[in-house]
Amino acid sequence: MSYTLEQLGADCRAAMDKDPGPAGREEVRKFIAKVCADSDFVAEYLGPDNMTPRQVIYEDDKHKFCILAHVYEGAKGSNPHDHGPSWAIYGQAVGVTTMTDWEKVAEPSGDTPGKVKKVKDYDMTPGIAYLYNEGDLHSPSRTATTRLIRVEGQDLTGVKRDKYEAVA
Ligand SMILES: [Fe+2]
């Protein structure tokens, strides 16, 4: 294998050691883009027999970020969201994700969703990765199965997220 998970984890950790803020995450984003374009790495963690929707493949015991392999089957769209207290990176390995970025126009309160206005749509194709810092609102959609390598600043399992609805 040209670039191993161990090497990826070590490179990402070194980047976060240098700067755990947006600059270090930008370095992590570049490593994720690199593995998404690495056919050996993709075959190993996102091969055609893999149908696991969410799998943590690396968890950093120092900085607490997680690297995940995702297989998202079939067409689906998602609502605008951020990741609560966390940042995230989406890396496209197989297929196409159409991502929409949103701007917050009203905060959520109680059971009332926040309101968001569309900023732009863009397609993520294999080898492309994007960083979403805390509070960056986005919504992925797809017309067929996709395979992604994602990073969460912390494991978001069970973390409550605010709801948002789009306004024109
Ligand atoms: Fe997200």
Burial class (CB in 10 A: 0-12, 13-18, 19+), 50: middle
Q: What is the residue extent of each domain of the chain?
A: 5-156+161-165
CA of 132 to the centre of ligand 1 (A): 8
Ligand 1 centre to CA of 139 (Å) is: 6
Q: Which residues make beta-bridge pairs with 118?
A: 102
- For 84-128, how does the pLDDT look when each residue is reduced to its tens digit (9 = 90+)? 999 999 999 999 999 999 999 999 998 999 999 999 999 999 999
pTM of the model: 0.96
Cβ atoms within 10 Å of 20's Cβ, excluding its own: 17
Q: Tell me: the pLDDT tens digits for 136-163?
A: 999 999 999 999 999 999 999 988 889 9
Residue-level pLDDT at 160: 86
How far apart are the CA of 1 and the centre of ligand 1, in A?
A: 29
Span from the CA of 136 to the centroid of ligand 1 (angstroms): 9
Angle at 148 between CA 35 and CA 32, to 5 degrees: 30
Split at pLDDT 50, 70, 90, the class of 33 is very high
Residue 88 alpha carbon to ligand 1 centre in Å: 7
Q: Does domain 5-156+161-165 have CATH number 1.10.3720.10?
A: no
Rounded to 5°, angle at Cα 120 from 116 and 122: 130
